[in-house]
């Protein structure tokens, strides 16, 4: 790691659309990111009849930044449009609470210590017993979508991800050359993998470009497939407090690391993503700039998310029940 000079830090801050310190606290970050009520996701050929699909549970029991009635509402709309059922899960993870669930989605969970305080330390959001329950549930055939955005969220999810061999980096992955921190992952650049999720096998057409916004970087286990590969030049700023970048802030080069990966574990499947906005539709900043599936550069994100959920739940387009 090395220190970052103030001009470099200022360039990074400008690239993501924030002045230094503007969103340095959870209240500021929340105020800058609101769901976009005007964006309505659609699925042309649903995998299931309405309400007849697998059950998705969105974790809302771990100080989650994203909830069904909040910033993850668009994700809920999208999966419902594909015939899935989705409900909040507010209980601790256990064999009993996970029973009957087909896909568990965890988006930006936190330990209570970081509720209202996005500074280090960032303890695990989950107990040892919860992590073991999730690991055993996935190995027995469950599916997990684990999303941990920029610091402090990777710290809170680190131990759960490590149980499956993923090493999360508790920083801010940024690339100064992209507007507002947006990164575009294209197959033509070797940044978006050719996989069943992107090649049309999931019934939503081929996907060749995905956009995401800020986030973290991580290292996947050898058996995983990195769907989103960070380009050369991306670095991770290891801040002590979220959105507060100092001259002495350490920086880690993370070009070639992952920001989205999938893995088959026993009878189950897991997907890990280091960015959450790509699964949402939000308005960001005072200018209410589109961020997520509603952004012009993210036109294929809804299809990607649909294909990812279908892959995780092993939903076959060939057995389409929704027409």
pLDDT of residue 123: 98
Architecture of domain 6-184+210-319: 3-Layer(aba) Sandwich (3.40)
Structure tokens belonging to residue 149: 């955005």
Mean pLDDT of 60-64: 98
Residues in the chain: 323
Per-residue pLDDT at 38: 87
pLDDT-based confidence at 32, cuts 50/70/90?
low
pLDDT tens, 77-129? Answer: 999 999 999 999 999 999 999 999 999 999 999 999 999 999 999 999 999 99
Question: What average pLDDT does this structure show over 44-70?
Answer: 96
pLDDT of 224 higher than 60:
yes
- Identify the residue with better confidence: 76 or 32: 76
80 vs 5: which has the higher pLDDT: 80
Cβ contacts of 296 within 8 Å, gap of 6 or more: 290
Q: From residue 169, give the alpha-carbon distance in Å to each of 179, 203, 251, 258.
A: 23, 33, 11, 10
Q: What does the pLDDT read at residue 186?
A: 97
Burial degree of 5 (CB within 10 A; 0-12, 13-18, 19+): exposed
> Which pLDDT score, from 0 to 100, does residue 10 have?
53
Question: pLDDT tens digits for 130-146?
Answer: 999 999 999 999 999 99
295-317 tens-digit pLDDT? 999 999 999 999 999 999 998 66
Local confidence band at 4 (pLDDT 50, 70, 90 cut-offs): very low
Mean pLDDT of 55-67: 97
Whole-angstrom distance, CA of residue 197 vs CA of residue 199: 6
pLDDT band at 273 (very low <50, low <70, confident <90, very high): very high
Segment among 90-94, 171-175, 245-249, 287-291 with least mean pLDDT: 287-291
For residue 1, what are its two tokens?
A: 């790691």
- Average pLDDT of span 173-187: 77
Backbone angles phi, psi at 74, to 5 degrees: -65, -40
Contact 269, 314 (CB under 8 A): yes
Angstrom CA distances, 319 to 84, 197, 270, stand at 14, 17, 23
How far the first Cα of the chain sits from its last, in Å, is 53
Mean per-residue pLDDT for 205-230? 96
Q: What is the mean pLDDT of the chain?
A: 89
pTM for this entry: 0.91
> What value does the mean pLDDT take over residues 223-249?
94
The CA–CA distances, whole Å, from 2 to 46, 94, 214, 236 equal 49, 42, 21, 11
Using CB atoms within 10 A of its CB, is residue 18 exposed (0-12), middle (13-18) or buried (19+)?
buried
120: alpha, beta or left? (left if phi > 0; alpha if psi -120 to 50): beta
Confidence of residue 11 (pLDDT cuts 50, 70, 90): low
Q: Above 60 in pLDDT, residue 173? A: yes
Contact 269, 280 (CB under 8 A): no
């Amino acid at each position: 790691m090395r220190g970052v000079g103030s001009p470099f830090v200022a360039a990074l801050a400008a690239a993501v659309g924030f002045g230094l310190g503007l969103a340095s606290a959870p209240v500021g970050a929340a105020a800058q990111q609101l769901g976009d009520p005007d964006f309505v996701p659609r699925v042309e050929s649903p995998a299931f009849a309405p309400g007849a699909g697998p059950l998705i549970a969105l974790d809302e029991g771990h100080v989650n930044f994203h909830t069904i009635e909040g910033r993850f509402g668009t994700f809920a709309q999208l999966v419902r449009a594909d015939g899935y059922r989705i409900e909040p899960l507010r209980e601790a993870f256990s064999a009993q609470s996970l029973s009957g669930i087909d896909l568990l989605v965890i988006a930006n969970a936190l330990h209570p210590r970081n509720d209202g305080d996005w500074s280090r330390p960032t303890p695990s959001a989950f107990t040892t017993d919860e992590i073991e329950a999730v690991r055993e549930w996935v190995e027995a055939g469950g599916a997990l979508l684990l999303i941990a955005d920029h610091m402090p969220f990777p710290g809170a999810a680190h131990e759960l991800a490590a149980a499956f061999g993923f090493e999360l980096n508790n920083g801010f992955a940024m690339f100064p050359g992209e507007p507002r921190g947006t990164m575009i992952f294209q197959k033509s650049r070797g940044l978006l993998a050719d996989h069943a999720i992107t090649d049309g096998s999931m019934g939503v057409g081929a996907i060749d470009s995905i956009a995401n916004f800020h986030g973290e970087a991580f290292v996947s286990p050898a058996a995983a497939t990195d769907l989103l590969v960070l380009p050369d030049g991306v670095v991770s700023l290891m801040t002590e407090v979220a959105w507060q970048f100092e001259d002495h802030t350490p920086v880690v080069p993370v070009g070639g690391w992952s920001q989205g990966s999938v893995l088959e574990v026993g009878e189950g499947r897991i997907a890990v993503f280091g960015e959450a906005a790509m699964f949402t539709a939000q308005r960001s900043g005072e200018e209410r700039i589109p961020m997520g599936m509603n952004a012009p550069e993210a036109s294929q994100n809804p299809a990607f998310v649909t294909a990812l959920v279908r892959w995780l739940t092993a939903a076959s387009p060939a057995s389409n029940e929704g027409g």
